[in-house]
Amino acid sequence: MQKRLSLIISLVIIFIFIPLTLYAGIVLFNDRKYYFISIMIIILASIPFFLSFERRKPQPREILIIAVMSAISVTGRALFVITPGFKPVAAIAAITGFSLGAEAGFLTGAISALVSNMFFGQGPWTPFQMFMWGMIGFIGGLLGRTGIMHKKIPLILFGIFAGILFSFGMDIWGTMSLYGVFSMEAYIVALTSAVPFTIVYAVSNVIFLLILARPIREKLERINNKYGTFQ
């Protein structure tokens, strides 16, 4: 019952409150309060994560694991700075979700975007990157419950899906940021022009998932079994 309630709260926050926050950032603040919006997304994303502590003793190592996975993601993005779009961020967020749960996956993706943009440049796109990478981690966490993400074919399909999802989500921001309102015609144009980047996103996700999913997941599951974290 407690897990079901936590999942419902997570779904409401991630699919309702965070999109409303992003919308307010564009419409009410004209993209000028992106730091404030970014912090609000982190706070909202943290609520279901910390609610899971309600009936058990919080373990600082759980926060540390999220920090470490985010640091790995940020480092990976920096290492591939010369290859735009070819980044391990989505893969790391998804792998975290596979192993540690949907909330942990979302936090890893969102924090990775915020921290890495301190080096690559903050801007009104940051909250949307946080949301999209967080969503990939969250969906990865939901799929991780099924046990199918240990196989190569589901990993490949998820990598393609994550690349398309990220591109489609960022193009929503691009359209609304440019016109102030959402225009389907402009959105279709943006999607069409972004096809090469979408392919790169998808290919990079597949490659990094196939290379990193098994070794990282084994280490995270070993930590889970040893210390009883994220149970």
The reported pLDDT for the residue numbered 28 is 73
Q: Is 69 helix (H, G, I), strand (E, B) or coil?
A: helix
Cα separation, 14 vs 52, whole angstroms: 16
Residue by residue, pLDDT tens for the chain (231 residues) are: 556 777 788 788 878 888 888 777 777 776 566 777 878 888 887 777 666 655 555 567 778 889 999 999 999 999 988 888 899 999 999 999 998 888 889 999 999 999 999 888 888 788 889 999 999 999 999 998 888 998 999 999 999 999 999 999 888 888 877 776 677 888 899 899 989 999 999 999 999 999 999 999 989 888 877 766 665
The residue type at 96 = T
Instruction: Output the pLDDT for position 153.
Output: 95
Place of tokens 């991780």: 144
**Would you state the pLDDT for residue 23?**
78
- Measure Cα distances from 225 to 6, 130, 228 in Å: 22, 29, 5
pLDDT of res. 69: 94
| Separation CA 114–CA 121 (nearest Å) | 10
In this structure, CATH architecture of domain 2-227:
Orthogonal Bundle (1.10)
State the pLDDT at residue 2: 56
What pLDDT shows up at residue 201? 94
Q: Is 228 left (phi over 0), alpha (psi -120 to 50) or beta?
A: left
Q: Match 């402009």 to its residue by tokens.
A: 186
Backbone angles phi, psi at 28, to 5 degrees: -85, -40
pLDDT of residue 30: 66
Residue 180 pLDDT: 66
Alpha carbon dihedral 203, 206, 207, 212, in 10-degree steps, equals 150
Radius of gyration of the chain (CA): 17
Quick one: which H or E segment has residue 207? helix 195-227
- Report pLDDT for 196: 92
pLDDT of residue 124: 79
pTM of the model: 0.85
